[in-house]
Amino acid sequence: MFDVTANGARIPALGFGTFRIAEDDVKRIVPQALKTGFRHIDTAQIYENEAAVGEAIEMSGIPRKDIFLTTKVWVSNYRHDDFIASVDESLGKLRTDYVDLLLLHWPNNDVPLAEQIGALNAVHKAGKVRHIGVSNFSTALMAETVSLSDAPIVTNQVEYHPFLDQSVVMDAANRFGMSLTSYFAMADGKVFENDTLKELAADHGKSVAQIVLRWLIQQNNVVALSKTVNEHRLKENFDIFDFELSSAQMTVIHDLADANGRIVSPDGLAPQWD
């Protein structure tokens, strides 16, 4: 495991995500993830499993200080007072007095961005969060966020997989000293059907999932979130630090990007994508 350094934050390059994982499964698999070696756990208010994540971390026996914990504020909580209250509620559920990274989950034009960033900075200044960032933001919103914030913005968490070109967002992140955190790395299962990725996996004696995760973390300042409820796949997903993809192989995977590759773009939340 290695860390990605971004605007003062040291973020474990490989994280374990909990999107769409039920509470019982969270309590079972998160301690196993930590036992396997994961030290970066990602959740969100809207996932409705923060309490299970908090319990699982406690059950794991791994000291809280050794875990990089991320959660996200949901769009309905962006008004300043609601924001502060929701963060306090999240901390209670997570059984901790701080999170390592707090993100705005999606853009919300109904609340001025200055108010959202002001609330992020308030909880940062209060010591409730160590670092702050955004998720699903366009490059224009990234730039505005950076200009509005006193505290450094350390990441933009976005959909990123071999079928979606995020080079424009990545270039912006690099300009701002931010990392890019990838979710939906497996493209909702589509990577497992791709012949090119299958061939690369066979060449390295690895799985397709391992090839994709390695491709992500081998890029500059990219953090990858993996997800599974299967213990065998959990260990497989973590086993990506003993090989490298060549420059040519990295390019071959980049070339899989398609103009229609985006999967996640919910009406009423999605910005004007780059």
Residues 183-230 have pLDDT tens digits of 999 999 999 999 999 999 999 999 999 999 999 999 999 999 999 999
Q: How confident is the model at residue 1 (pLDDT cuts 50, 70, 90)?
A: confident
pLDDT, mean of residues 132-148 = 98
Q: Mean pLDDT, the chain, as a whole number?
A: 98
Q: Is the pLDDT of residue 9 over 90?
A: yes
Q: What is the distance between the alpha carbons of residues 116 and 74, in angstroms, rounded to a whole number? A: 11
Which residue ranges make up the annotated binding site for substrate? 105
Annotation says 47 is catalytic: yes
Catalytic residue, from 47, 78, 160, 183: name it: 47
Residues 12-43 have pLDDT tens digits of 999 999 999 999 999 999 999 999 999 999 99
pLDDT, mean of residues 49-66 = 97
pLDDT, mean of residues 141-162 = 98
Which residue ranges make up the annotated binding site? 105
Q: Which DSSP string do the residues of 59-76 spell out, in sequence order?
A: HH---GGG-EEEEEE-GG
Q: Is the pLDDT of residue 232 over 90?
A: yes
Q: What is the pLDDT of residue 115?
A: 98
Percent of the chain with pLDDT over 90: 100
pLDDT, mean of residues 250-262 = 97
In order of start, what are the domains of the chain with their CATH numbers? 3-254 (3.20.20.100)
pLDDT, mean of residues 121-145 = 98
pTM above 0.95, yes or no: yes
Q: Is the pLDDT of residue 170 over 90?
A: yes
Q: How confident is the model at residue 161 (pLDDT cuts 50, 70, 90)?
A: very high
Q: What is the pLDDT of residue 38?
A: 98
pLDDT, mean of residues 246-252 = 98
